Structure 1
Amino acid sequence: MRQKHFLTLLIIDIDDFKKINDCYGHQQGDRILREVADVIQFNVREIDVCARYGGEEFAVVLPYADRRIGGMIAERLRKSISQIKGNFHGTTGITKVTVSIGVAVGPHDILDIHGLIHKADMAMYQAKKDGKNRISYSNVH
């Protein structure tokens, strides 16, 4: 970011993860976490950095990726994760594994990493608010 190259940050949150753990058990939840991590790692570029960011959240740092490239990678991740077999049954309303993804791009969205994280996190919450299983982009101010 100091060199003014694009850097996109994705914050990815597994939708309804608490419900998955509560209804299907922590072993199923742990399996879903591992599979989501594998799908993320498989679908990003070699230079990208993937990490578990919280309980059911992941962060992906995409160096040299502008909004268009970041959005393409986010959509590829969203679609690929939705292919994970959840083996869900019953009346929980959960039929597949989905994620909500927030996208923020530096240096345009913000000039420091804390601000970039905040923008990506707020975009992820907006994706959840808008109905889950979607991507939301940070608003540039």
Structure 2
Amino acid sequence: DRLRACIRGIDLACRYGGEEFVVVMPDTDIGVATMVAERIRRRVAGDLFAIHKGEKQIEVTISIGIAARSTPEDNAGMILKRADEALYRAKRDGRNRVVADAA
């Protein structure tokens, strides 16, 4: 719900693995995608998450990697690979940040 509240109606959010999510943003340039990702990051960091049936609350942060189609030959697998590489740069550089693929 937190994720869906931050994206547009045309975007598609889905789980991609155990702790990873993908947001597909059709016809969106990297600048707009970065703004949306920052909005998601701030929203998650700004909310406490309840655990143990609400008895305890914890702070959660997220790291986000972004990639966009850069050539007509790019396919979904190539874009996901670049987004994953950007995600690992975000984690390596200190976590709780958004990193866009340079391609």
* 1:81 partner SS: helix
- Alignment counterpart, residue 61 of structure 2, candidates 98, 101, 121: 98
Whichever residue aligns with residue 81 of structure 1, its letter is V
State whether structure 2 residue 2 is matched by structure 1 residue 44. Answer: no
Report the equivalent of 2:22: 59
Structure 2 length-normalised TM: 0.87
1:1-141, aligned counterparts within 5 Å? 38-86=1-49, 87-88=57-58, 96-108=59-71, 111-140=74-103
* 1:107 partner SS: coil
**Structure 1 or 2: more helix by fraction:** 1
Greater RCO, CA 8 A, separation 6+: 1
Give the C-alpha shift of residue 107 in structure 1: 3.1
Distance 1:63 1:40 in 2: 17
Q: Runs (4+) of structure 1 moved beyond 6 Å?
A: none
Whichever residue aligns with residue 13 of structure 2, its letter is C
Q: Superposition RMSD on alpha carbons, in Å? A: 1.5
Any idea what the Cα deviations from partners look like across 1:117-141, whole Å, max 9, x if unmatched? 000001001100000000111121x
In structure 2, the gaps of 5 or more residues are 50-56
Report the equivalent of 1:16: none
* 2:10 partner SS: coil
* 2:102 partner SS: coil
Whichever residue aligns with residue 101 of structure 1, its letter is I
* 1:117 partner SS: helix
- Identity fraction in percent: 38
In structure 1, the gaps of 5 or more residues are 1-37, 89-95
